[in-house]
Amino acid sequence: EIVMTQSPATLSVSPGERATLSCRASQSVSSNLAWYQQKPGQAPRLLIYGASTRATGIPARFSGSGAGTEFTLTISSLQSEDFAVYYCQQYNNWPPLTFGGGTKVEIK
Amino acid sequence: EVQLVETGGGLIQPGGSLRLSCAASGFTVSSSYMSWVRQAPGKGLEWVSVIYSGDSTFYADSVKGRFTISRDTSKNTLNLQMNSLRAGDTAVYYCARAALQNYFDYWGQGTLVTVSS
């Protein structure tokens, strides 16, 4: 099973600032990595797939990078609606499909 | 427009059974990879099961032998039969459509399953 580790667990950022979230895989997942955003009481929403491709309707301030075992989600200028929990998920080696533990982006 | 609507959650005693359903619209369940993903209260996301072409299925080790995923093509629904439920199965259960490579492009709103005496 591929273990996904996200850091930090919590990120405190001021509106307008840049946020950088990390995701590490226990073995290579190539570029088969997705990012999701989840707000309280809501289902997750797909942001990024293929490590760097934005899903339909996702603003350009969200960008993904990385390959192999190290991945980054960057939010270039945080808006109020971006404060949420973010999860990475690998789909290279399955079953099982595995998620990271999440990074909570909170208002500083 | 793609929509997924889960039903069937509720309070159930340990050892009991429950059947979740997910009604899909805007696409055909039988031609898609479909998964169940759960989230325990205050915790992260955990993949539970997948069904795809030819009715192939896989399960997380934590539910193998107790849960069964299936599709009803006549109703365009995804189902999850959950038996021998444990307290650790308490979670919001989401159905999700997987795009070509098993990342999830559409999610339902979730249904809460609480296993408690």
Residue A29 makes CB contacts below 8 A (sequence gap 6+) with A2, A68, A69, A90, A91, A92, A93
Residue B34's nearest CA partner among B91, B93, B90, B87 is B93
Across chain A, what does the average pLDDT equal? 97
- Residue to substitute from A47, A92, A97, interface B, most B β-carbons within 10 A: A97
Which of A38, A89, A95 is opposite residue B103, by nearest beta carbon? A89
Question: What single letter denotes the amino acid at residue A24?
Answer: R
How far apart are the C-alpha atoms of A79 and B31, rounded to whole Å? 37
How far apart are the C-alpha atoms of B63 and B81, rounded to whole Å? 11
Q: Tell me the nearest-neighbour CA distance from A52 into chain B, angstroms.
A: 13
How far apart are the C-alpha atoms of B94 and B91, rounded to whole Å? 9
Beta-strand relationship, A10-13 and A103-107 = parallel
Residue B78 makes CB contacts below 8 A (sequence gap 6+) with B21, B22, B24, B29, B34, B36, B51, B69, B70, B71, B95
What is the average pLDDT across A70-90? 97
Q: How big is the CA angle at A44 (ends A50 and A97), to the nearest 5 degrees?
A: 55
Model pLDDT, residue A14: 95
Render pLDDT for B69-113 as a digit per residue (tens, 0 to 9): 999 999 999 999 999 999 999 999 999 999 777 899 999 999 999
3-state secondary structure of A10: strand
How far apart are the C-alpha atoms of A102 and B45, rounded to whole Å? 8
Cβ of residue B103 closer than 8 Å to a chain A Cβ: yes
Q: Tell me the nearest-neighbour CA distance from A7 into chain B, angstroms.
A: 14
What is the average pLDDT across A3-28? 97
What is the average pLDDT across A12-26? 97
Q: Are A50 and A66 in contact (CB under 8 A)?
A: no
B45/A99 CB distance under 8 A: yes
